Amino acid sequence: PNVTQYTLQLGDSIFSFWRQSLKRDQSIFCLNNVTNRPQQLLMSDLNLIDNESWFDLIGENSYGNGSNEIVLEPYQSAWLTNCRY
């Protein structure tokens, strides 16, 4: 609970926030599609580098490594992190 957290402004369709571990070695981007339609994000919308690996802790999908698009299905949530412990 005592970590850095910021709300991200990604429009009205996606509620999102960013959290960083106390050691600053892990970031988690919490993305929540609050609509009944698929929503598309670019890695650059989150300032993520698309040649790095990012993992969804909920859906276990991988992002990055050349792929620069994230698609959230209706009401889907994704927690993207740069570390898998």
Residue type, 44: S
Over the stretch 21-80, which tens digit does the pLDDT of each residue have?
888 888 899 999 999 999 999 888 888 766 678 899 998 888 877 678 899 999 999 999
Phi-psi region of 45 (alpha: psi -120 to 50; beta: other; left: phi over 0): alpha
Its pTM stands at 0.85
How far is 77 from 57, CA to CA, in rounded Å?
10
Give me Rg for the CA atoms of the chain: 12
Task: Supply the range of the domain harboring residue 50.
Answer: 4-81
Higher pLDDT, 16 or 62: 16
Name the domain count of the chain. Answer: 1
68: domain CATH number is 2.60.40.1180
Residue 5 has pLDDT above 80, yes or no: yes
How far is 1 from 60, CA to CA, in rounded Å?
24
- What is the structure's pLDDT at 50? 62
Mention every residue, 6+ apart, whose C-beta is less than 8 A from residue 65.
50, 51, 52, 53
